Amino acid sequence: MSAPSPAADVPRPTRPPKPYTRRLSMRITDVRILSQAFFFALFIYLAGVTWFSRLGGYPVSLFLEVDPLVALATGLSTGTIYRNLIWSLWVLVPTLVLGRWFCNWMCPYGTLHQSIGWLFAKITGKDRLDANRYRPLFRTKYVLLAWFLVMALFGSLQIGLLDPICLMYRSFTTAFAPSWDVAAERVRQVAPWLPGWLLASPGTKEPRLFTSAVLVGWMMLALLAANLIIPRFFCRTLCPLGALLGVFGRFALWRIDRNPQKCTNCDLCLMHCEGASDPHMLLRQSECFACMNCIEDCPEDALAFRFMPPKESGVEHVDTSRRRLVFGAVAAAFTAAFARVSGATRDRHFDPKVIRPPGSPDEREFLDRCIKCEQCIRVCPTNVLQPALFQAGFEGFWTPIMDMRSGYCELNCTLCGQVCPTGAILPIPIEKKLGLPPHQEAGPVKVGTAFVDKSRCLPWAMETPCVVCEEVCPTSPKAIGAYDEEIVRWDGKKVLLRKPFVRPELCIGCGICEHECPVSDSRAIYVTAVGETRSKGRSLLLKSRLPMVPPPKSHC
């Protein structure tokens, strides 16, 4: 039987209290906490502004525009960089000086994970010293980064699946904000005296519903719960943005430096290390979040944040093998090829229910730009935009599509194009959307065409008067007309039926007719993507559309 390790009998040192005079001054970690709180609150505020559809000139896409991974991946997939994404240099350039400071000073998703890990550590009393040691599992994020970038290089933009900013926006939009609204409605029934703006989204007739709320919500909860096993599991293991910043951060001019003469190998610097960067050994610079916790925890002042310390004090290379990176790149190349030959984006082979928002470019170009951040879905005031599952193929997973059962496209609304950070939905003026001067010659923007199902239509199939679709049609002249026919019904009663039909040259596919149709299970009138103006290959008519008369202004 082997003898026990001598280190096992040595009691683990505890952190000595800091001098009283030092506690009076603000520490660098206090500044970091204030920075995290500020940017997290700013994120929630900007997300709330879009949730309430009240942009007011606020930079609602700020966090997406400063995301270097968004800028790099969209640049690879489209060959151009959307002008607002130049703001990502404000994150990338300081990374070359300070390392991965964004992960622990500004990233709202990182702040959320850190808070959850800290909270449960306080509740359970879990010792984080061993949990904060580096593990080979943390190399996974670099393989994922290679996979996402090669996919983007082949024209398949998929970074939104795991990019932390996109992931947090999507979770807020699809799962947590609607859940808050549903709960708020219940609270309002009990306490009607509470102000409505504190409880739910104002201006909506009913709470917003999203088809993939369960999937998105449980994905978010699972990633948060992983912090109970490994602190900041997502940031250390899966985050492709963190991996990108780690690649650049290895060249940082400032880094943690350990003085081996003062160090007593107590390992207390690991107690609150956010990046598991091994500050008690040779620092893994690409993993260091510059949280400064190790400096505050060191009882011997053996650690400091210094300018260009000796190379021996840090491990500069990214800790993963070329074989893993090549494997990720090859897997991405095959995945992009398989997705492309599936045919979901071809003009003659597309799902008719994949109706994109007005201002979207051709489907191929749309998928090259969309990062699945769901800014457009969150700002839509009618709930018509929904995250797709597999209607648009693998590449279109979680991209926005229009579901006319959930809502309709407001005639005087172009909010979705105003908040898109990558140009997947172009910001178009109301005049261009409606085909008014100076865009009269091009005609209105058309997202699809409505069709009447005569086998389900009340006047056509059941001899029951109904004029709902004709009444709600917002175009002028109306795209829905009706044939008057007077009949003697089976009960002997004489009735006048107005049997509807669609004028495809006037229909813009807004979907209000489908949304308001009284046949509730499978609508008697429905909209498909055929005839959309963004794709000539999906045209329905050869004749040009007629111009529209300016409609009355709406609340949007």
User: What digits encode the pLDDT tens for the residues 16-28?
Assistant: 544 433 443 468 8
Whether 455 is in a domain gets the answer yes
CATH number, domain containing residue 440: 3.30.70.20
* DSSP string computed for 293-354: HHHHH-TT--EEEEES--GGGEE-S-SS-HHHHHHHHHHHHHHHHHHHHT-TTBTTB--TT-
Pick from 481, 450, 492, 485: nearest CA to 465: 485
The whole-number pLDDT of residue 519 equals 93
The whole-number pLDDT of residue 546 equals 52
Which residues sit opposite 526 in a β-bridge? 451
Instruction: Judge if 211 and 309 occupy the same domain.
Output: yes
Mean pLDDT of the chain: 85
The model's pLDDT over 217-236, given as tens digits with 9 standing for 90+, comes to 999 999 999 998 889 999 99
pLDDT classification of 6: cutoffs 50, 70, 90: very low
pLDDT classification of 250: cutoffs 50, 70, 90: confident
Cα 116 to Cα 108: distance, rounded to the nearest angstrom: 12
pLDDT classification of 524: cutoffs 50, 70, 90: very high
Instruction: Judge if 139 and 55 occupy the same domain.
Output: yes
Beta strand spans in 349-410 (E): 385-387, 400-402
Residue whose pair of structure tokens reads 């580096």 in the numeric block: 134
Q: Which of 253, 281, 315 is the last residue of a domain?
A: 315
Domain interval for residue 411: 363-538
H-type alpha helices, 342-401: 363-369, 375-379
Cα 231 to Cα 449: distance, rounded to the nearest angstrom: 51
Q: pTM for the whole thing?
A: 0.87
Instruction: Judge if 289 and 397 occupy the same domain.
Output: no
Instruction: Judge if 279 and 387 occupy the same domain.
Output: no
The model's pLDDT over 436-452, given as tens digits with 9 standing for 90+, comes to 998 888 889 999 999 99
The whole-number pLDDT of residue 173 equals 93
Which residues sit opposite 527 in a β-bridge? 450
Q: Which of 278, 297, 315 is the last residue of a domain?
A: 315
Q: Which of 315, 335, 353 is the last residue of a domain?
A: 315
Cα 273 to Cα 293: distance, rounded to the nearest angstrom: 6
Query: At residue 331, does pLDDT exceed 80?
Result: yes
Picking from 132-136, 188-192, 398-402, which range would have the lowest pLDDT averaged per residue? Answer: 188-192
Report how many domains make up the chain: 2
The whole-number pLDDT of residue 347 equals 60
Whether 347 is in a domain gets the answer no
Whether 98 is in a domain gets the answer yes
The model's pLDDT over 138-150, given as tens digits with 9 standing for 90+, comes to 999 999 999 999 9
Instruction: Judge if 379 and 266 occupy the same domain.
Output: no
Whether 553 is in a domain gets the answer no
Query: At residue 117, does pLDDT exceed 70?
Result: yes
Instruction: Judge if 280 and 167 occupy the same domain.
Output: yes
The whole-number pLDDT of residue 4 equals 43
Instruction: Judge if 262 and 369 occupy the same domain.
Output: no
The whole-number pLDDT of residue 186 equals 79
Instruction: Judge if 305 and 183 occupy the same domain.
Output: yes
Whether 462 is in a domain gets the answer yes
- Provide, rounded to the nearest whole percent, the portion of the chain with pLDDT above 70: 87
